[in-house]
Amino acid sequence: MKDKITAKIGKFIDDITTLDVLTLSGSIALKPDPRPEPGAGAGAGVKELAWDDYFKDIVGKLKTPDDATKLEIVAYTHTELDADSVNFYRTAGTEDALRDLHLRTVESATKARLDAVAAFARVFK
């Protein structure tokens, strides 16, 4: 049990000491797969989209794209705890809304990491 806890703490520290944000643009073809609304009887016409399944499908397409998947890296940021970082922005349209979204995501994720480090430190005070 102690080894498990130690491993989880080590993974947590690894996770909070680096930050990777990748912003993509493009297209991923997914087949709509509506499912019956929860609690609806057989043959019910009301459907909802299976959002959790879509998320899994999107991640799958990113890992193993097919011919219909077209992706462009808009921006990438890698930051270490000591503030060393690597940033990439596509050449064309670097002032667009996706670049701004990327920068806001980096800022938000950095704040979340700092808050997690502070919380972790309070546990061991």
The burial class, CB within 10 Å (0-12 / 13-18 / 19+), for 41 is: exposed
- Nearest C-alpha neighbor of 102 from the set 116, 87, 113, 81: 87
- pLDDT at position 90 over 60: yes
Percent of the chain with pLDDT over 90: 14
The burial class, CB within 10 Å (0-12 / 13-18 / 19+), for 75 is: buried
pTM: 0.66
Confidence at residue 44, expressed as pLDDT on a 0 to 100 scale: 56
Please write the tens of the pLDDT for every residue from 30-68.
Answer: 776 666 556 555 555 556 667 777 788 888 888 888 888
d(CA 11, CA 5) in angstroms, rounded, equals 10
> By three-state DSSP, how is residue 81 classified?
coil
DSSP result, 40-78: PPTT---EEE-HHHHHHHHHHHHHS--TT-EEEEEEEEE
> Per DSSP, what are the bridge partners of residue 78?
20, 86
